[in-house]
Structure 1
C-alpha cells in the first residue's frame, strides 16, 4: 500500500504542477488529489520538490553497479558509458513520469537549480566510484563531470524529441565526445 500511495502522490504532483505550476501547488493539494492525507505526503517526501527528485537514489545505485561491473582495465569514460547504458532500461521504464516531470522542472527556475545540485552530487558519487577503481582523483572527477553533462544532455534530448533510442543517443554522444578529445 505504501508504494501505491507514493506512486499516486508522484503522479498527482506532476499532474497538478503541469496544470497549476509548481509554485501554485501545495502539498495538501497533492495529497488530496492522491487520496491520502497531508501527513501521508510528508511521510513519503520531505517537501514538494522531492516528489520530482525522488528517483535519484535508485539511479545512483544503478549507476554505481554499472561502474562496478565495467571492464577492469577500461579508461574512465568507457566505464562511465558502460554504466550509462546499463541504466537505459530504468530510464526508459520511467519515461511516462519523466517527460512531464522535466516539463515542470524546465518551467521552474528554482527546480532547475535543484536539478543542477542533484546532478553535481551524482557526478561526485561517480567520481568516488571511479577513484575506488584506482582512477586518479583529478581524472575521476573530470570524467564524472563530463560524463554527467553528457548523460543529462542526451536524456533531455531523448525526453523532448522523437527519434533515436536513448541507447543510440548515448552511443552517438560517446563517439562525438571521443572525437572531440
Structure 2
C-alpha cells in the first residue's frame, strides 16, 4: 500500500509542476516575463503561491520548465536536411526559411522574451545558454560552408548571425516580406558577401 501512495504522490507533484509550467508559459506569452507575477502564476495554475515556490524556488528554476512546456507545443525546426545540402548558399536560405517560419509561429512569446531580457537577468542568462547558443552554433556551421578567411570570414559570420536574429526577421516581416522572401533577401546578402 505504501508504494502505491508514494507513486500517486509523485504523479500528483508532477501534474502540479506541469500546471505551473503551463500557466507560466501562457502568462509569459501574454504579458512577458517582466510583468508576470508569482501570484498570477499560482492563480492560473490553481495552486497557492507557496506551492509555486515549493516546486520552483526562483525564476531560474521556473524558466527551463516553462520553456520545455512551450517547446513541446512549438518545437525548434529540424535543420538537419537543410544543413546536409551541398551548396552553402542553399544551406543558408534553407535554414533561414525554416527559422523565420518558426519565428512567425512563436513571435507572441519570443518577441516578449527578447524584449524582457535586458531587464530580467535570469531570462537573459537562460536565453544566452539556450537560444543564443543554438543560433551561434547554426551561424558557425553556415559560415564554415564558405571558403573565406580572415577579416572576410569575420564579417561573413557577423552577417550570418544578423540574418539569424529574431529582430532581423521581425523587421523584414514588418516591411511586408513573407518568410520565404525574407530568407531570399538575407540569403542573397550572405552569399554576396562571401
Give the Cα–Cα distance (whole angstroms) in 1 for the partners of residues 100 and 132 of structure 2: 20
2:169 counterpart of 1:155: yes
Q: Deviations over 1:47-83 (max 9, x none)?
A: 3444775567932xx2xx32334454222x5313312
Tell whether the 8 Å contact from 1:16 to 1:25 is kept in structure 2 after alignment: yes
In the superposition, the TM-score normalised over structure 2's length comes to 0.56
Q: Which protein, 1 or 2, shows the higher relative CO under an 8 Å CA cutoff with sep ≥ 6?
A: 2
Tell whether 2:94 aligns with 1:73. Answer: no
Provide the rounded CA distance (Å) in 2 between the counterparts of 1:170 and 1:52. 29
Relative distance call for 1:112 and 1:39 in structure 2 (3 A) is closer
Q: Is residue 169 of structure 1 aligned with residue 153 of structure 2? A: no
Name structure 1 gaps, 5 residues minimum: none
Q: 1:56 to 1:173 in 2, by over 3 A?
A: farther
CA RMSD across the alignment: 4.4
Q: How many angstroms does 1:38 deviate by?
A: 0.9
Asked whether the 8 Å contact 2:136–2:161 carries over to 1, the reply is no
Whether the 8 Å contact between 2:79 and 2:95 is mirrored in structure 1 is: yes
1:11 to 22, 26, 30: 26
Gaps of 5+ in 2: 1-14
Q: TM-score, normalised by structure 1?
A: 0.59
SS in 2 for 1:47: helix
In the alignment, is the contact (CA less than 8 A) between 1:10 and 1:52 conserved in 2? yes
Match for 1:90 among 97, 102, 120? 102
Whether 1:42 and 2:75 are equivalent positions in the alignment is no
CA distance, structure 1, for counterparts of residue 146 and residue 184 of structure 2? 23
Paired with 2:38 and 2:138, the residues of 1 have a C-alpha distance of 32
Shift of the alpha carbon at 1:29?
3.9
Question: How far is 1:10 from its partner?
Answer: 0.8
Tell me the alpha carbon deviations over residues 86-137 of structure 1, each in whole angstroms, 9 at most, x when there is no partner: 24443322233333334333x5263456534544411454368669x9999x
